[in-house]
Homo-oligomer: A and B are copies of this chain.
Amino acid sequence: MDQEIEIIQHKAETPDEILRIALKLFTTKGYYTTSLVDIAEASGLKNTSGIYHHFKNKHIMAAQLYANIFDSLNISIDDIRRKSQKSSEQLHGITDLFFRLTDDAPEVMQFLLILNLKEFLPEEKPVMETAAFIKIIKIIQAGITAGEIREIDPQLANAYFFGIINNTLRALLTGALNKKADAYLSQTWLAAWNAIAKK
């Protein structure tokens, strides 16, 4: 028992740490209900001035979060596509990723699934037009061509598959389901895949 240990009030000096804290606040409170004072306080700063040292303004913080999240998603999807040729396995990989993120980085999934991005990032591409999600549509198209997935509008197949996946994750993020995401992974994957699989 080391009684000397002090509770260190964590101070976030680096831009990345401040961004992480902003993401946390944006996803729990909302973008417009989070003031720069909130972000400064949560970062252990006395002022908003420190924030302006790293970011030109509040909006650019949101834009950078958007870029970071969709970029890393895009990279992850590239990885997944490289590991396997089959659409079913690629979709399984993406499902694994989303469930893992829900347990390990719920703010990221909140950003993707709960926030109304169009409201505070109107100039950014809608989710479905980002590189990452265009690739998902391509995976589905390939699955249809290969005969793994039944022949329906790829956008519709996407809505069905990720409807089940994302809505389950939404239920987890809002507390309607209370185990860890991982506990629902295998059965939810099956339900989602069955919704679009051929035969």
Contact = CB atoms under 8 A, between A and B. Distances in A.
Interface of A: 29-33, 114-116, 118-120, 126, 128, 152-153, 155-156, 158-160, 162-168, 170-171, 174, 176-177, 184, 187-188, 191, 194-195
Contacts of A163: 163-168
Interface of A is mostly: helix
A101 B163 CA distance: 19
14 contacts: A30-B32, A30-B118, A30-B120, A31-B119, A126-B174, A153-B177, A155-B177, A156-B184, A158-B176, A159-B168, A160-B167, A160-B188, A163-B163, A194-B194
A39 B151 CA distance: 45
A176 B114 contact: no
Nearest to A28: B118
Copies of this chain: 2
A156 B177 contact: yes
Contact of A177 (B33, B159, B167): B159
A118 B164 CA distance: 22
A151 to B, nearest CB: 12
A191 B157 CA distance: 10
A32 B170 CA distance: 23
Contacts of A165: 163
Contacts of A158: 171, 176
Contacts of A114: 116
A188 B158 CA distance: 12
A127 to B, nearest CB: 8
Most chain B CB within 10 A, of A128, A187, A191, is at A191
A130 to B, nearest CB: 12
Contacts of A170: 159
A114 B115 CA distance: 8
